[in-house]
Chain A
Amino acid sequence: MLLNLTIFLCLVFLGYVFGRHAEKKHFESILERENQYKALLAFSARFPPADMAISESKLVGGTVVISIDYFKRLAAGLRNIFGGPVTSYESLIERARREAILRMKEEAIAMGAEMIINVKLETSSITKGAGDQVGAVEVYAYGTALKH
């Protein structure tokens, strides 16, 4: 029992320290790159602007998989009992979404595009149904990159 408790506390502590550090660094990096790529516009509109002369259009996409840490998992598990917003997962999904869009933008920038239209996001759980595993989420962002 004592051994179980020790392992458990270590996992929670490690999860908290490393998870929080990783999240902080990731958000910093996301903000920096979002600023860097802001000239490239991205929309969910299905059609290009009517006055835009398009020389090239191409499907671009970016995907990312982010794993939760033991602390987040425990916090979410506690939330399962009492109900309410699962804040520990909210930041996880937010990071994944923004990172996927950034990776999609990187591909569009590489081809010299000015705009991405019809942007869509897909989310899926990698470890769905496997109760004993630490969960991971995959977000895929894709759209049509347009070049003048």
Chain B
Amino acid sequence: MRYENRQIPEGINVSTEHPLKEFSALLLSLVVLVGAVVVGLSVLAAYAAPLVPFHVEQKIVEQTGSDWLQADPLSVEQQAVKQYLKTLGSALEANMELPEAMTLTVHYSDSELVNAFATLGGHIVIHRGLLREMPHENALAMVMAHEIAHIKYRHPIVASGRGLTVGLALAAVGGFTDSSATGLLINILGSGSMSSFSRGQESEADAEALKALLAHYGHVNGAADLFKALHDRTEPSKLLEFFGTHPADRKRIAAIEQFSLNISQGSTQPFPESVLKAVH
């Protein structure tokens, strides 16, 4: 008997196709899949979440412990600031046609954060750090009207509903794979496309805020001044813009300038002395 080991031809067990070809096809499929999940559920959340009655939303916030909303007792000076914010908020709200069942609660937080936000249950929080950056009342009114517009359009509950459902769905897609690299990729793709919805909400709130400012002051001068001040400090890159939850400052400034064309002009209101003293 004759024994031999024949040469086995190459390419039987190993694919000769370029690995990048297969990889890009798979990556594209994943982008489409994640995109479909995010868009589908986001649209669903935007439709379904506002159906939750506002008083139910308020109740949920009360039940889930809103300790952070009951901030440290404010000093007399800070009480004055809070009162001022409340008055300004009410004045703006009067021009914004909020649904009857909706009530706003304005909070003033004595912290250095340069931030303000609206959250579930009609709560609006303004930080001292942001107030300090404000050049005049009109800039503050723009921010407040912006946050009120978020509440008016039920953005917080839409965003929460969207975050929860999309987060769950992406976790489920990620669960199919035991590789953390793929999980990370899904996260990056998901949060990027989610941010575009968030930017849409911000632009919507900006547009509504401008209308409220016009009704309250008779002009929108100074509305862009805060964004201009913040813009001069930092300019995010194009890539960061994709992940940013807010539109880039220059885009917001441009939208405000576009709005202020062809309407009457006016001068900006300074802050009351008591507020300036308490903030600085």
Contact = CB atoms under 8 A, between A and B. Distances in A.
A115 B5 CA distance: 10
A81 B13 contact: no
Contacts of A80: 176-179, 182
B29 interface: yes
Interface in B13-71: 13-15, 17, 19-20, 22-23, 26-27, 29-30, 33
Given A78-B23, A79-B26, A131 B188 contact: no
Nearest to B184: A8
A80 to B, nearest CB: 4
Given A2-B240, A41-B5, A87-B22, A74 B182 contact: yes
A76 B14 contact: no
Contact of A78 (B10, B182, B243): B182
A33 interface: no
B5 A38 contact: yes
B4 A41 contact: yes
A98 B263 CA distance: 79
A81 B177 contact: yes
B178 A49 contact: no
A77 B182 contact: yes
> Interface size bucket, B side?
35 or more
Interface in A88-113: 88, 90-91, 93-94
B15 A91 contact: yes
B181 A73 contact: yes
A78 B48 CA distance: 32
A37 to B, nearest CB: 10
The B interface, classified by DSSP as helix, strand, loop or mixed, is: helix
A77 to B, nearest CB: 3
A82 B182 CA distance: 12
A3 to B, nearest CB: 11
A51 B181 CA distance: 56
B102 interface: no
A75 interface: yes
Interface of A: 1-2, 4-5, 8, 11-12, 16, 20, 31, 38, 41-43, 49-51, 70-71, 73-82, 85, 87-88, 90-91, 93-94, 115, 131-132
24 contacts: A1-B188, A2-B240, A8-B185, A8-B188, A12-B181, A16-B20, A43-B3, A43-B5, A51-B1, A73-B179, A74-B23, A74-B185, A75-B23, A77-B181, A77-B183, A79-B26, A81-B30, A81-B177, A82-B29, A87-B14, A87-B15, A90-B15, A91-B15, A131-B180
Given A43-B3, A80-B179, A81-B33, 19 more contacts: A2-B240, A4-B184, A8-B185, A11-B181, A12-B181, A16-B19, A38-B5, A74-B182, A75-B23, A76-B179, A78-B23, A78-B30, A78-B182, A81-B173, A87-B15, A87-B17, A87-B19, A88-B22, A115-B3
Interface of B: 1, 3-5, 7, 10, 13-15, 17, 19-20, 22-23, 26-27, 29-30, 33, 173, 176-185, 188, 191, 239-240, 243
